Structure 1
Amino acid sequence: MRIGAHAGVHSEQGALRGEHPGRSRSPVIKVHDLAWLEFEKPDLAAAEIFAHAFGFQTVTRTADELQLRGANAGAPCVLIRRGTQTRFRGIAFTAHDDLDVYTLAEAHGAPTSPLPKSLGGVSVQLADPGGIPVKVVAGLHPLPELPTQLPHEFNFGRQVSRINTTQRPPRTAAVVQRLGHVVMQSSKYLEALNWYLDNLGLIVSDFLYFPGQRGRGPTMSFIRCDRGSVPADHHTLALALGPANRYVHSAYQVTDLDALAAGGEYLCAQGYFRSWGIGRHIQGSQIFDYWRDPDGFLVEHFADGDVFDNSLEPGWAPFTASGLAQWGPPATADFLGTSPKHARHEVVSMITGLREKNEFDVKRLIGLLKVATS
């Protein structure tokens, strides 16, 4: 028996009786959005060159830190600090106000601390069950809005509005407008999912399950902010079960398909590597284009994503490579992590994951391996 108010709206399948509801009954707070992502990299110069080609603008550049922003008003969306190795250092979410930060801190017995003067505001530092650092922040100094690429005027079949003018989108860097979402892998997927729902008030838009394993529960979730009747991105955070606790990719909004495609041509001309694209996703509907930065991190340009208010219940679907896109080229080995250059790392990760006490067991490994070929 299917239940859920979404039936026939955004997903072919709804929840079965007794399945995960996709939201907490009484969350500690409800975060408003993503603030930024934090990284460490040895070469800030190379990181900044790629960032400009990808479409970011520099806020601050010192010998030890690089702050990058999109064109929308708000905080920097990527913070990169100099380090001896390349690694992901955590996620920051914005709370509605300082009181929410203090409420969350009190619930966890954690101290609050002022953010650097360049950012302003207050934060509390936590960690999810997989050990991923999670900040919640409020009271930031907002950066002013910057110019962005204007959407084109289109002729749609019999609906003609563009007359005596041409379309000539320039092959320049696509202007990043904002940070849209981050995708994480967790060996403690269900525990981590419940942590984000219970503490940050996030709600699930769509669940995926390994082929043939729905009875064991979901293994990926696309999770949005709960802003009540105000629509939010289909997913701000996506969380997947896997052998390690790690960053998978992050996504940054651009104006439209022309900006995304022309920006991709520009990145190609600069010698950067396209991982997968261009296509349109199913969960979230975004037009996407994935790239590898010089340090191997996967980053996405996206446009035309879904937005949901809090009235829609989760959809359910099998987790398959072919089910990741409505149209576009097949998901690549690089994107799926099955290419030869990733093979050794992935094998070591799987062996390590199976040895540790977590949710990733042999049956889940078999399900994960089926994803890439299904």
Structure 2
Amino acid sequence: MPVLGPLSFTLEVPSLDEGVRFYTDAGLVGDVAKGEGGDIARLRCPGQDRDSIVLLGGFPRKRLHHISLRADGLDDMATLAAEHGGEVVAAPDGFEDNGLWVEDPHGMLIHLSERPADPELEAAAPFQVNAPGLTVRKRRSAMLPGASYAPAKPLRLGHILVFSPDVPASVAFMTDALGMGLADRAQDIIAFCCARRDSDHHVVAFAKSPGVGFHHGSFMVSDPDEVGRGGRALLAKAKLGDWGFGRHTIGSNFFHYIQDPWGSWFEYYSDMDHIDDYALWTPTNYEMSDSLANWGPEVPHDFVHNYETDPEPFQAVRKEPVTA
């Protein structure tokens, strides 16, 4: 009866055009449908046949609508959700009544569905690093001229980070009701949950805030160089905030975050820790000094700010990015 992995996240947004522009600049593909129920945009990774992001247009401000996870054993989950402070609810207007819709103890909506796993990604060329006493790349340059590289190509949605007013309670619901595992945490401020088999280090993560909200969606690319190139290219188009290039302690992944038009974030990542069998994994409680990064630039002042709980919505102030 466990969660098996991430599928998508759905946001209410003021401007569908802005959202589609931002996410297509990030390398996703999709389309917009207009109808009586409102305008909706569906975006996916190139080569995938399912949505990774759904945007609902025409709302006064950005707000998390729900997250979608792949799972099995939905009947058991329905029972356990009610036993652990959640509630089974009807599908929201405009969405199919399939799978299982639940609210967690804080009212965050989660859609659980049984569907086949995505096809395995094709193996990429190894990212080779010449190290002291271990020269693995000889008689060739590691880097081509910058213009030789195609734009960043997101391969799949890796994880979703959301805000929670009570991180331990959110983790307890995900583990006890939805069959996930606690991968690691930093005190009671941030925590990372994984699937129990063949999982990225985290599938759903929580950061402490006065209320529920969306922080970021993270998309895998081929290697650290693509994280860096993709982040700089998206920053040049979005002209808002960014954080990166850097590397996390928790999960070990290289990262670059770009702020979206509503104050939340898009992450490119590569080289994430993998948990093949949660029974063989031991969670660590990290100090707060390691909660965000092992190394990287200074953290933006509003990186962990939940604009969804603010009386006033995020005001985008465009800027010209600094170029190297």
Q: Do both proteins adopt the same fold according to a TM-score greater than 0.5, normalized to the shorter chain? A: yes
- Aligned partners of 2:206 and 2:40: how far apart in 1? 28
- Aligned partners of 1:318 and 1:244: how far apart in 2? 23
Q: Relative to 1, partners in 2 of residues 1:268 and 1:111: Cα closer, same or farther, differing over 3 Å?
A: closer
Q: Relative to 1, partners in 2 of residues 1:155 and 1:319: Cα closer, same or farther, differing over 3 Å?
A: closer
- 1:224 deviation in Å? 0.5
Aligned sequence identity (%) = 24
- Aligned partners of 1:115 and 1:31: how far apart in 2? 24
Q: TM-score, normalised by structure 2?
A: 0.79
In structure 1, the residue matched to 2:153 is: 175
In structure 2, the residue matched to 1:345 is: 310
1:201 partner SS: coil
In structure 2, runs of 5+ residues without a counterpart are 314-324
- 8 Å CA contact 2:10–2:67 kept in 1: the answer is yes
2:229 partner SS: helix
- Aligned partners of 1:102 and 1:206: how far apart in 2? 28
In structure 2, the residue matched to 1:314 is: 283
1:52 partner SS: helix
- 8 Å CA contact 1:204–1:313 kept in 2: the answer is no
Please tell me whether residue 124 in structure 1 is matched to residue 100 in structure 2. Answer: yes
- 8 Å CA contact 1:121–1:139 kept in 2: the answer is no
- 8 Å CA contact 1:208–1:221 kept in 2: the answer is yes
Q: TM-score, normalised by structure 1?
A: 0.70
- 8 Å CA contact 2:164–2:207 kept in 1: the answer is yes
Q: Relative to 1, partners in 2 of residues 1:80 and 1:232: Cα closer, same or farther, differing over 3 Å?
A: same
1:330 partner SS: coil
Q: Which has the higher helix share?
A: 1
- Aligned partners of 2:255 and 2:18: how far apart in 1? 24
Q: Deviations over 1:116-138 (max 9, x none)?
A: 99xx9932111111111111012
In structure 1, the residue matched to 2:166 is: 188
Q: Which has the larger radius of gyration?
A: 1
Q: Deviations over 1:161-199 (max 9, x none)?
A: 353566225465311111111112212333222111111
In structure 1, the residue matched to 2:78 is: 105
- 1:296 deviation in Å? 2.2
In structure 1, runs of 5+ residues without a counterpart are 1-28, 210-217, 349-374
Matches within 5 A, 1:17-28: none
- Aligned partners of 2:93 and 2:7: how far apart in 1? 13
- 8 Å CA contact 1:30–1:202 kept in 2: the answer is yes
2:209 maps to amino acid: G
Please tell me whether residue 154 in structure 1 is matched to residue 138 in structure 2. Answer: no
- Aligned partners of 2:41 and 2:122: how far apart in 1? 21
Matches within 5 A, 1:1-374: 29-58=1-30, 60-63=31-34, 64-71=39-46, 73=48, 75-85=50-60, 86-96=62-72, 100-105=73-78, 107=80, 108=82, 110=88, 122-139=98-115, 150-151=124-125, 154=128, 156-157=130-131, 158-161=134-137, 163-164=139-140, 167-168=143-144, 169-170=146-147, 172-209=150-187, 218-227=188-197, 231-308=198-275, 309-310=277-278, 311-320=280-289, 323-337=291-305, 345=310
Q: Deviations over 1:65-115 (max 9, x none)?
A: 11111146463111112232221111111113xxx2233335548477799
- 8 Å CA contact 2:218–2:267 kept in 1: the answer is yes
Q: Deviations over 1:195-216 (max 9, x none)?
A: 111111111111211xxxxxxx
- 8 Å CA contact 2:235–2:242 kept in 1: the answer is no
- Aligned partners of 1:277 and 1:242: how far apart in 2? 22
2:251 partner SS: coil
2:177 partner SS: helix
2:8 maps to amino acid: W
- 1:267 deviation in Å? 1.6
